[in-house]
Amino acid sequence: MKCIGILGGMSWESSIEYERVMNAAVRERLGGSHSADLIVRSYDFSKIETLQESGGWDLLAQRLTADALALEAAGAELLVIATNTMHAVAPQVEAAIGIPLIHIADAAAAAVRAAGLDRVALLGTRYTMEMTFYSDRLEQHGIEVLVPDEPDRTIVHDIIYDELVRGVVSPTSRDEYLRIIDSLVASGAQGVIAGCTEIELLVTPDDVSVPLFPTARIHALAAIEAAWAE
């Protein structure tokens, strides 16, 4: 198995899920006391959040690129950015490293296409819903993307940053998400991409009437598959 480098801690609530899924997948495959071969760079998310809010994407790209190179130098043979939003700087990171980067939107798109769907709702941070780095990547796979209208985009975003990244899971917020999902399904969405890894803490596949694609789990399993690929 190849060694996987993880840029995580954005937030650690979802990074823990990445490590859990990866380690469980390796143990299921190999048995015994086996676990995933990982090198993790975990951030103080408050500093990441501040740069996001101020538009400091160039600084974020520089920071993640430097740390990706450090993971590669430490022995990582492939890389994951354990967050949807920070794939906004994935092109800069990917251009600088000499190891494969497993892109979260590619993994999500593969799952959507495997389910036979081509029109999905995308929920995530404001950056993921409003910037084009994610929807464009999905559209390259032949998937049409719907996002909430305002003020629902703000509701989705604020619940992520004010609650989920802080470990707060509120039934009231779950109801708001389900209302928004129902609206998008009524507009033609065949499934829902949980395009922020923390959303999986709030909404489960059992909560919705259409397929839900939990990107943290999907991405983590895609990395494990890539780690075994020849």
Catalytic residues: 83, 196
3-state secondary structure of 193: strand
Closest CA to 192 of 138, 130, 152, 146: 146
Task: State in Å, rounded, how far the first CA of the chain is from the last one.
Answer: 10
Rounded to whole angstroms, the Cα distance separating 93 from 24 reads 28
Q: Which amino acid is at 89?
A: V
Q: How far is CA 142 from CA 121, 135, 161, 195, 208, in A?
A: 14, 11, 30, 17, 23
Each residue of 151-174: b (16+ CB within 10 Å) or e? ebbebbbebbbebbbeeeeeeebb
Closest CA to 84 of 131, 39, 134: 134
Amino acid at 161: Y
